[in-house]
Amino acid sequence: MHLKFVLLLACLSQAKTSEQVRYDNYKLYTVQINDVKDQQLLSDNEKVLKLNSWSAARRIGDSSDIMLPPQSQEAFEALLNSHNLNYSIKIDNVQRLIDEQRPKQRLSSMEWTQYHTLDEIYAWLDLIEARYPHVVTPFTIGDSYEGRPIRGIKISYKPGNSAVFIESNIHGNEWITSATITYFIDELLVPRNPAVRDIAHNVDWYIIPVLNVDGFSYSHEVERLWRKSRFNSDPTGECVGTDLNRNFNYRWMEAGASADPCEQTYAGPYPESDPEIRQLTSYINNSIPEGTIKIYISLHSYSQLLLSPWGHTALEFPEHYPQMMGVAKGFADAVVRRYGTEYNYGSSATTLYEVSGSGKDWAYGVKNITIPFTLELRDRGEYGFLLPPEYILPVARETTEGFVGLIQAARGINVL
Ligand SMILES: *[C@@H]1O[C@H](CO)[C@@H](O)[C@H](O)[C@H]1NC(C)=O
Ligand SMILES: *[C@@H]1O[C@H](CO)[C@@H](O)[C@H](O)[C@H]1NC(C)=O
Ligand SMILES: *[C@@H]1O[C@H](CO)[C@@H](O)[C@H](O)[C@H]1NC(C)=O
Ligand SMILES: [Zn+2]
């Protein structure tokens, strides 16, 4: 009886794996972009060579990370060589790293030594909600497109605090974000040093560990590199998913977003078309007293960047740009002290690329939240989205110290 049960489980999990999208011998290239012609060459060949961009060059002189299937690697290298483009291979078998991110044995508890599924993260939330009822207030902003609850927690030690709002894993494939933020939650509940105790006690934290619950589950179960939601608004029905960080109702679709449902940066058919975003903004509008959120953080990976508004233009800067940069510096200086991890910061249009309809621009442009950031965690593309599990703890620890530096800097200029 017992054996039968075990075998049945083994079969089920095998059936699941066999349906997974595989990336055997796919390679991740990094290509140096020296002028706009180089950029054009890559976009001209995107479809025919099946280029999959993990991270685009931020500016001329920078490099782009591009994944290719085995059958087009030779043609791609020939193309780069014939145009004298400098490149190297960062990952020579993407599937190997995907396999290394899947634990051989699943731990039943959170140890931050492996990546957890949504069910495991939610089971852990149940646990801490029961264990720390005096500081933790659970909330649910609503259900996802596929009907999963989108859960968050508020951590508050006393009334009257200003608040920080953090949404994480809005992109399904950015697993390090929910791993990091759950560790940070644990730190806030059991602070390991006085500086963390201070930011736990004197700030209210609203945290949604996994906002894109459908995309995250799909990334675990079927397609490791899945970024978007699972809402299908393609008139042809062919391409699934909205880039949720292009779906906010501020300067929607003005720049750095796509109207093509098959693209990774598809902004959706209209602003707030996806329930995840509609309910997130509705929760912030209706369930958090106006004016209490002073800092909004959208947690992403990878690139080691803090990005502020504006996303839609590089020609203008928001009124509070100097304050934003001061707070970003507080974060970056604190992070680098731990393990030497370097962060850059600036507005997204001037630092990364143009983007509109993102959470941080909505937070500033619509909600007047003084300090809004997109925070891109480690690394800089050595592993990209496939950061091995042994990096979880270092990233989580340095990010916790970064948050301490960020809060201290915000206090220094009276934002908090
Ligand atoms: C370009 O070439 C230089 C020198 O050979 C090398 O150090 C650098 O890493 C290369 N850049 C890329 C993107 O491969
Ligand atoms: C939240 O409030 C903003 C304006 O303050 C509004 O533009 C937006 O539509 C609201 N969101 C929802 C879902 O009601
Ligand atoms: C944000 O500030 C603008 C300009 O000061 C004001 O018109 C708007 O009502 C404010 N919105 C909120 C949600 O406080
Ligand atoms: Zn992202």
Measured by CA distance, the residue closest to atom 12 of ligand 1 is 87
Q: What angle do CA 41, 43, 45 make, to 5 degrees?
A: 70
Q: What is the pLDDT of residue 8?
A: 39
Q: Which residues of the chain have pLDDT under 50?
A: 1-18
pLDDT in tens, 190-239: 999 999 999 999 999 999 999 999 999 999 999 999 999 999 999 898 99
Residues of the chain with pLDDT > 70: what percent? 96
The phi and psi torsions of 172 (rounded to 5 degrees) equal -60, -35
The DSSP bridge pattern shows strands 52-55 and 27-32 to be unpaired
Asked if residue 65 lies in contact with residue 51, where contact means CB atoms within 8 angstroms, the answer is: no
Residue 29 in contact with residue 90, Cβ under 8 Å? yes
pLDDT, position 15? 41
Ligand sitting nearest the alpha carbon of 173: 4
Q: Which domains does the chain have, with CATH numbers?
A: 27-92 (3.30.70.340), 109-222+267-412 (3.40.630.10)
Rounded to the nearest angstrom, the distance between the alpha carbon of 328 and the centre of ligand 1 is 29
CA 266 to ligand 4 centroid distance, Å:
13
From the CB of 87, is ligand 1 less than 6 Å away? yes
- For residue range 290-331, list pLDDT tens digits in order: 999 999 999 999 999 999 999 999 999 999 999 999 999 999
pLDDT of residue 416: 87
Catalytic-residue membership of 376: yes
Nearest-CA residue for ligand 1 atom 2 is 86
Q: Kindly name the residue from 167, 187, 376, 401 that is annotated as catalytic.
A: 376
- Ligand 1 centroid, distance to 65 Cα (angstroms): 13
Half-sphere exposure of 397 (CA within 13 A, CB side): 15
pLDDT at 11: 38
- Specify the ligand 1 atom closest to the Cα of 30: 13
